Amino acid sequence: MRPFAAAVLLFLAALPVWAGAAPEPRPRNIILFIGDGMGFGQVALGAVRAAAAVPAPADPPLPALLTFERFPVAGTLSNPSANSYVTDSAAAATALACGAKTNNGMVGIAPDGKRLESVAELAKRHGMAVGIVSSVGFDHATPAGFYAHEGSRDSYDAILAQALNCGTFDLLFGGGVFGKPAGGATLRAAAEAVGMAYFDAATFKELSPAATAGKPVLGMFDTNGSHCLDKGIEPRLAELTAQAVSILLARDTGHGFFLMVEGGAIDWACHGNNADNAAYEVQEFDQAVAAALRQLAAAKRLDDTLVVVTADHETGGLVMAGPYGKPLAQGQTPELKWNGDHHSAMFVPLYATGPSAGRLANRHDNAELARLLKALVAP
């Protein structure tokens, strides 16, 4: 072996020793942001579109940095499921929530049917306040992975029944609901019958830590049956996130909180190869990250909160392919290439800031990320 190669191997072998010599402090709070379908291409598109909205100081103009791209730690996440190299959202959510692989279509259970404990359930068991927020239906695959246990992600009625009775969370917010009772007065009655405080788009402005009176909170903010927060209609994902952080901070009894926030409609836009909607949803997702940081800063809780931003998978095989041979003009849309309308096996981005963020540098697997978060919740 050449001397240089030997030196490199010795250096790499020493890295775990150095990392173990000075462990990072354990966070009091953890916020996990999941951009459903958000690969590196989607992040780049969101950044370029953000730069196009504001004149850039560079010539040629450069993409803007999204809020989470400014985080000091970055890496990548692999995401195969137990039975497919290309995961679906249910298996990916199970891995990200529970730290174990399962088959596509399964939520919160192993391939053999064994129930898996999520980091949200573990956090609640250890006295933490827990919140789950999504821009799409709160009984959809990704949020369901943190509180439900079903053999099929499409068992919406059963998943909704678990949402109403699981006792896992202090708050569950979503852009809609797929199961029955599907909304309005019927869902409100079902929630209130089990002791929940119920809020919708009409009553969102009344939502506050004081207004919930210590009850579990169910928020369903679908305005037109789309199962999603609609463009230009309040509340936005950033508002739901800020309110969730506020409530969880108020409910912290000394053990901190765990919050998962999903930008679910990025995936929906990419399934349709709709670049405009994809860029919009990435920016909505980024604004939710910024809203959480502002809320934490106002409460002087930034320093003890680990914030992680990642994705469950990439959707559409999005590539920014041009222009080639000339700069991208200010306000110009890049030439895009979609490689399909389904999920891909591409690794996805991973960003982190706060206590223990350094442990997320470089490449990890999605189940490995969940196991780390569990270890931080219950060392």
Read off the pLDDT of residues 186-230 as tens digits, 9 standing for 90 and up. Answer: 999 999 999 999 999 999 999 999 999 889 999 999 988 889 998
- For the chain, give the mean pLDDT: 91
> Tokens at residue 135, please?
């821009």
- The whole-angstrom separation of Cα 352 and Cα 312 is 15
CA distance 14 to 10: 6
CATH number at residue 196: 3.40.720.10
Assigned domain for 178 exists: yes
* Digit-coded pLDDT (tens) for 127-164: 999 999 999 999 999 999 999 999 999 999 999 999 99
In this prediction, residues 63-90 reach a mean pLDDT of 96
* Residue 48 reports pLDDT greater than 50: yes
The rounded Cα 351 to chain-centroid distance in angstroms is: 11
Task: Give me the domain span that covers residue 89.
Answer: 28-377
Element (H, E) at 75: strand 73-78
Number of structural domains found in the chain: 1
CA proximity to 350, closest of 359, 338, 341, 342: 359
CA 190 vs. chain centroid, Å, equals 27
Please report the sign of the dihedral spanned by the C-alpha atoms of residue 136, residue 139, residue 145, residue 151: negative
Q: Which of 300, 312, 288, 305 is nearest to 373 (CA)?
A: 305
Residue 233: band (very low, low, confident or very high) from pLDDT cuts 50, 70, 90: confident
Instruction: Kindly state whether residue 11 falls inside one of the protein's structural domains.
Output: no
89 counts as catalytic: yes
Candidates 126, 130, 220; CA nearest to 174 is 220
The answer to whether residue 2 is domain-embedded is no
Judge contact between 377 and 30, C-beta under 8 A.
yes
Residue at 16 is within a domain: no
Q: pTM of this prediction?
A: 0.93
Q: How far apart are CA 265 and CA 337, in angstroms?
A: 20
Question: In the predicted model, is pLDDT for residue 21 greater than 60?
Answer: no
| Across 167-176, 303-312, 326-335, least confident range | 326-335
C-alpha 250/C-alpha 208 separation (Å) is 10
Q: CB of 59 within 8 A of CB of 73?
A: no
- Asked if residue 210 belongs to a domain, the reply is yes
Given a contact cutoff of 8 angstroms between Cβ atoms, the answer to whether 183 and 230 are in contact is: no
| 116 occurs within a structural domain | yes
Please say whether the beta carbons of 344 and 317 come within 8 A: yes
Q: Is 216 among the domain residues?
A: yes
d(CA 177, CA 221): 9
Which token pair is 164?
Answer: 């109403």
First vs last C-alpha separation in the chain: 41
Point out the catalytic residue in the list 89, 118, 155, 344: 89
Task: Tokens for 347, please give them.
Answer: 């690794």
Whether 18 is in a domain gets the answer: no
